[in-house]
């Protein structure tokens, strides 16, 4: 007997029979883990060429960063007197320390690339067009958050590479008129990068920015799920591959003649 | 076909063939806009991509160690002084233009432009051929940005002078 056909299983999964497509849809709909997904998508979304799966890749990299980052947090104290020594300890004494640090570093670099590439792919797909404009805006914020997370994490090893990269990066803020100087001082916590900067970047990196990131990501995914079946339900929204063509699927009525201009 | 010679098809006796349409109607050819269930069609693909990405990162982690230089020293400025690679384009711009332009106006315009893009581009067409202006503008920006990043990352050495990356390497990850 399968678990989901028992009394306990029924109480958890709610939909024990998975015989027809309707049963499976009902099971999907009542599953907590699957609720971030739509029940159905358009067939074209399955192809590699549609999205290059860059959104999934970014999300998986974020998960890898959270897991490896939490592991590193156990062994790291954000203070100029201890930080560098902790890095050496992580690399030499902590079990799998060097490996986990490598995974964290390469995941972070890759995530900047996949998020930026995801954005480019969405552009060429035209997938930011109405009614999806706002999800594109959230995507821009997610890209900025990715860069900020990467940049704040860059300082934490407290080696020459970290120190001077952050000195160069934060000095750019000085050029912003009126608020630039004070913005830099709030970020750095003084005239130059030091103990105050390290603790500020650490809190931003492990607490504040990840929380904001996850909040934005949830809205991003929720919006995607809501819009996943749009083409079928609202053929007038102009998102299909033939939108703008005369009589094409997804073309708003009478839009064929206006389709050529910008 | 004679009555004395019944053929067998898949274990059934074939009594006759009727010309015309199948009783159930034509087999439907699946179209790109048709809906398919996420489980299993999309989830299986996502699982494969997820495992592939994870494996790729784990293998990178086995093969290459993350850099760790000497301990931070505020009194010893390295030459060249490099920002992380994703800011290399900005740093490269800073070496050519006034800081107000390269450090404030350009990045500000890029962010505002990106946010405003769907509200500026009101052309409903999705195919690149029907939205040439948007595609050309975006592609030019992308190419320039990638080139600037590459130059700032790999082609700049001491005092931000030009170097060939195969002669001396100054890129840091």
Residue that the structure tokens 């607490």 belong to: A207
pLDDT of residue A178: 82
Please write the tens of the pLDDT for every residue from A19-76. Answer: 788 888 888 888 888 888 998 888 888 999 989 999 999 999 999 999 999 999 999 9
- All structural domains of chain B with their residue ranges: 85-160
A233 occurs within a structural domain: no
A19 occurs within a structural domain: no
Q: Which of A143, A147, A244 sits opposite B127 (nearest CB)?
A: A244
pLDDT at A188 over 50: yes
pLDDT at A98 over 70: yes
Residue pair B84/A151 in contact by the 8 Å Cβ criterion: yes
Instruction: Tell me which of A7-11, A108-112, A189-193 is least confident.
Output: A7-11
The range of the structural domain enclosing residue A62 comes to 54-227
First to last CA, chain A: 61
Residue of chain A nearest B106, judged by CA positions:
A176
Instruction: Tell me which of A145-154, B6-15, B112-121, B153-162 is least confident.
Output: B6-15
A121 occurs within a structural domain: yes
What distance in Å separates residue A217's CA from the closest CA in chain B? 16
Q: Where residue A63 sits, what CATH number does that domain have?
A: 1.20.810.10
Residue of higher predicted confidence among A246 and A165: A165
Please answer yes or no on whether B66 and A123 come within 8 Å at the CB atom.
no
A240 occurs within a structural domain: no
In chain B, residues with a C-beta closer than 8 Å to the C-beta of A169 are 83-84, 87
pLDDT at A7 over 70: yes
pLDDT at A256 over 80: no
Q: Which of A140, A228, A232 is the best mutation test for B, with the most CBs of B within 10 A?
A: A140
Instruction: Tell me which of A1-5, A12-16, B110-114 is least confident.
Output: A12-16
Residue of chain A nearest B82, judged by CA positions:
A165
Provide the CATH topology of domain B85-160. Helix Hairpins (1.10.287)
3 state SS for chain B: CCCCCCEEECCEEECCCCCCCCCCCCCCCCCCCCEEEHHHHHHHHHHHHHHHHHHHHHHHHHHCCCCCCCECCCCCCCCCCCCCHHHHHHHHHHCCCCHHHHHHHHHHHHHHHHHHHHHHCCCCCCCHHHCHHHHHHHHHHHHHHHHHHHHHHHCECHHHCECCCCCCCCCCC
A22 occurs within a structural domain: no
Number of compact structural domains in chain A: 1
């Amino acid at each position: 007997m399968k678990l989901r056909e028992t009394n306990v299983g029924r109480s958890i999964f709610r939909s024990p029979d998975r015989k027809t497509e309707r049963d499976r849809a009902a099971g999907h709909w009542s599953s907590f883990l699957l609720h971030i997904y739509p029940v159905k998508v358009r067939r074209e979304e399955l192809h590699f060429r549609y999205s290059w799966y860059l959104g999934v890749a970014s999300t998986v990299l974020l998960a890898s960063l959270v897991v490896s980052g939490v592991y590193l947090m156990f062994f790291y104290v954000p203070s100029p007197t201890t930080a560098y020594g902790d890095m050496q300890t992580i690399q030499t004494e902590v079990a799998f320390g060097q490996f986990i640090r490598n995974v964290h570093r390469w995941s972070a670099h890759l995530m900047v690339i996949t998020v930026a590439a995801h954005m480019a792919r969405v552009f060429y797909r035209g997938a930011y067009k109405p009614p999806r404009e706002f999800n594109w805006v959230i995507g821009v914020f997610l890209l900025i958050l990715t860069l900020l997370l990467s940049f704040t994490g860059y300082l934490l090893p407290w080696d020459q590479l970290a120190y001077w990269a952050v000195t160069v990066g934060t000095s750019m803020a000085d050029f912003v008129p009126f608020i630039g100087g004070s913005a830099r001082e709030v970020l750095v916590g003084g005239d130059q990068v030091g103990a105050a900067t390290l603790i500020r970047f650490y809190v931003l990196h492990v607490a504040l920015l990840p929380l904001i990131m996850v909040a934005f990501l949830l809205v991003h995914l929720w919006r995607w799920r809501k819009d996943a079946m749009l083409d079928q339900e609202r053929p007038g929204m102009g998102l299909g591959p033939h939108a703008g063509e005369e009589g094409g699927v997804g073309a708003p009525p009478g839009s064929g003649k206006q389709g050529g201009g910008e | 076909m004679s009555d004395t010679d019944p053929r067998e098809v898949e274990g059934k006796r074939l009594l006759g063939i009727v010309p015309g349409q199948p009783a159930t109607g034509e087999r439907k050819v699946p179209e790109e806009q048709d809906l398919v269930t996420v489980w299993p069609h999309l989830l299986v693909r996502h699982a494969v991509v997820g495992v592939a990405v994870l494996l790729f990162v784990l293998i990178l982690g086995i093969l290459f160690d993350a850099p760790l230089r000497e301990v931070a020293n505020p009194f010893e400025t390295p030459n060249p002084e490099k920002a992380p690679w994703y800011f290399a384009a900005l740093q490269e711009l800073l070496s050519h233009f006034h800081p107000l332009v390269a450090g404030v106006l350009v990045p500000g315009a890029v962010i505002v432009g990106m946010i405003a893009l769907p509200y500026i581009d009101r052309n409903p067409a999705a195919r690149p051929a029907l939205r040439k202006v948007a595609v050309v503008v975006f592609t030019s920006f992308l190419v320039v940005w990638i080139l600037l990043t590459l130059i700032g990352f790999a082609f700049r050495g001491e005092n931000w002078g030009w170097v060939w990356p195969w002669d001396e390497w100054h890129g840091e990850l």
